[in-house]
Every structure is written in C-alpha cells, then in structure tokens.
Amino acid sequence: MDTIIYSKDGKETGKVTLPENVFGVAWNADLVHQVVVSMQSNARAGTAHTKFRGEVAGGGKKPWKQKGTGRARHGSTRSPIWVGGGVAHGPRTEKSYAKKINANTKKKAFAVVLSKKLADSELIFLDALKFDAPKAKDARAMLTNFGTIAKTLPTKRKNAAIIVLSGRDAAVEKSFQNFGNVVVRQVKDVNPVDLLTYKYVIFANAESAVKQLSARVTVKSTK
C-alpha cells in the first residue's frame, strides 16, 4: 500500500509504503465509539461539587414553630427546597468518571481511525516540515499550498487540521500556535480523539512518522 509524499509547497516528491495493519484496517464504529467515549470520560476533571444539607452553614434553629402560624411546617433552612440550603443529588468530587480501556483495544481503534482517514483522503504525508524561525506567514503559505490536495483546508475555520511531527520542533509549533483551526502534536501523543476532531491529518517526516505509528499499533501477544 503506497501513498504520495508531498513537499510543504504542495508538490509530489515521492511515495511511502504504508503497513496494512495500520492503514488497511476495516471500519469498526462500535469499537471506535467505545474507545472515544472512554477517553473523553477519563479526561473529565470532575471538579464540580455541591454541598449536602449537613454541610451548608446556618439553619440550626427551627424557622418557626410547628403549629399555629398558618404556614407549612419546616425544620431547617438547610433543606434543599430552601434558597441557600443543601443540594439534593448534585455533583460531587468523589465521583469517578474513569473507564478502563484495554491497551490492545485502544491500539486497534487508533488503526481503524487512521485507515478511515486514509480511505477518505484526509491524510497528508510530507517529506519534511522545517522553518528557519517561527513565522506564521510561512505556516499560512503552507496551508494555502495544500489547497489543491485538500480543498477545504485553507478555508476551514474550525478543526481544519492536526499536524503530527515525528519529534519536537519549536519553530513549527510556534509558527502555528496562533492558528485557531490548526494544532501541532507529536506522533507519540496523538490519539483517536485528536484524529476524529480534526478534518485533515498532516504527517511530517513521512518515513519516520510511519515507523512510529507502526510501532504504536503493534499488538503484543497475550500468550
């Protein structure tokens, strides 16, 4: 399985061989849904917190006597039906939203999403991506050059592309940091949620990126 490699000018420079176990996996919506929901749950901070009636201040005294006032009986202003009272069934920080994800299942979902992106012509492979210094003008020019490969890439206002580097490159990261529709990640950090969030995925240093992706997707034997 071969695909075209482009330069940052949008011109073809060669081809790269893609492993079938990473880019030729059949679509599995249920598997991807399971992994994405689990990852999003694990990313929840769980900081929302409310107080029970026993934790709010005040309300130690009975508001008024039980009988003879003509009003409904109440025992405490800390009751959930009072303004300033406790909250019934509210969110608590001790609740955990974590969901277990099997490592091999996550790897399989990663390969499934990559294969779907390739089938939909939403993967772009670059021979190299280097800037002499951080410069947004050069970054914008690169995206414009890709307009012939991915028509909506230069004009998409949100979630246009994720640029995946084989290693850390401060100049590239800073060149794109003010783009609201583009993010930069490293191969070791990218995950199925990232791939599905952005329309196009641009892999820089194609040969190295493919090797790293293959290593990430390789399933370890359970025997």
Could you list the residue range(s) of the whole structural domain that residue 63 is in?
47-96
Average pLDDT for the chain: 91
Binned at pLDDT 50, 70 and 90, residue 50 comes out as very high
- Looking at residue 219, its pLDDT comes to 64
114 and 9 in a common domain: yes
Query: What secondary structure, in 3-state letters, does the chain show?
Result: CEEEEECCCCCEEEEEECCHHHHCCCCCHHHHHHHHHHHHHHCCCCCCCCCCCCCCCCCCCCCCCCCCCCCCCCCCCCCCCCCCCCCCCCCCCCCCCCCCCCHHHHHHHHHHHHHHHHHCCCEEEECCCCCCCCCHHHHHHHHHHHHHCCCCCCCCCCCCEEEEECCCCHHHHHHHCCCCCEEEEECCCCCHHHHHHCCEEEECCHHHHHHHHHHHHCCCCCC
Domain CATH number, residue 154: 3.40.1370.10
Q: Give me the percent of the chain exceeding a pLDDT of 90.
A: 77
- Looking at residue 37, its pLDDT comes to 96
86 within some domain: yes
Q: Which of 57, 81, 96 is the last residue of a domain?
A: 96
Residue 174: CB atoms within 10 A of its CB come to 16
128 and 187 in a common domain: yes
148 within some domain: yes
Cα separation of 129 and 77, whole Å?
Answer: 65
10 and 115 in a common domain: yes
Number of domains in the chain: 2
126 and 179 in a common domain: yes
Q: Which of 59, 78, 96 is the last residue of a domain?
A: 96
pLDDT tens sequence across 16-36: 999 999 999 999 999 999 999
pLDDT tens sequence across 147-163: 888 888 888 889 999 99
Instruction: Show Cβ contacts of residue 52 under 8 Å, excluding neighbours closer than 6 positions.
Output: 86, 87
- Looking at residue 176, its pLDDT comes to 93
128 and 21 in a common domain: yes
- Looking at residue 155, its pLDDT comes to 86
223 within some domain: no
222 within some domain: no
Cα separation of 200 and 159, whole Å?
Answer: 8
- Looking at residue 45, its pLDDT comes to 87
141 and 36 in a common domain: yes
Question: Residue range 159-187: average pLDDT?
Answer: 93
The letter for the amino acid at 71 is R
Burial (CB < 10 A; 0-12, 13-18, 19+), residue 6, is buried
184 and 128 in a common domain: yes
- Looking at residue 87, its pLDDT comes to 95
85 and 132 in a common domain: no
206 and 179 in a common domain: yes
- Looking at residue 58, its pLDDT comes to 85
166 and 129 in a common domain: yes
Cα separation of 90 and 192, whole Å?
Answer: 32
115 and 63 in a common domain: no
- Looking at residue 151, its pLDDT comes to 85
- With a cut of 80, say whether residue 215 has pLDDT above it: yes
pLDDT tens sequence across 65-88: 999 999 999 999 999 999 999 999
The letter for the amino acid at 219 is V
114 and 84 in a common domain: no
